[in-house]
């Protein structure tokens, strides 16, 4: 794994959800990638814990999971790197 030096100290999130209509369980699949300073630092792909009734609900649930993870990661890296909240 190679990381590149960057002057950027922003966290970027790419999120997606897949709502399988043929699936009988009603659980959508969540996937997200989290980047810090243009470097991948976290990712996840799994079935959602909540049952979604449509794709919009599945996408919203995926966004909530990704943002919670990003906030947690920001809190970890913000103090040692002296990052101010925007």
Reading the chain (86 residues) residue by residue, the pLDDT tens digits are 676 777 777 888 999 998 876 666 778 889 999 988 888 889 999 988 888 888 888 899 999 999 999 898 888 877 665 555 55
**Given this model, what pLDDT does residue 66 score?**
92
Which residues touch 61 (CB under 8 Å, ≥6 apart)?
A: 17, 28, 30, 48, 50, 52
pTM above 0.85, yes or no: no
Neighbours of 28 (CB within 10 A): 22
**Given this model, what pLDDT does residue 67 score?**
92
């Amino acid at each position: 794994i190679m990381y590149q030096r960057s002057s950027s100290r922003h966290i970027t999130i790419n999120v997606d959800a897949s709502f399988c209509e043929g699936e009988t369980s009603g659980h959508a699949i969540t996937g997200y990638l989290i980047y810090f300073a243009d470097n991948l630092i976290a990712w996840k792909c799994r079935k959602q814990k909540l049952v979604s009734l449509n794709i919009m609900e599945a996408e919203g649930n995926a966004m909530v999971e990704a943002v919670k993870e990003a906030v947690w990661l920001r809190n970890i890296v913000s103090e040692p790197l002296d990052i101010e909240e925007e």
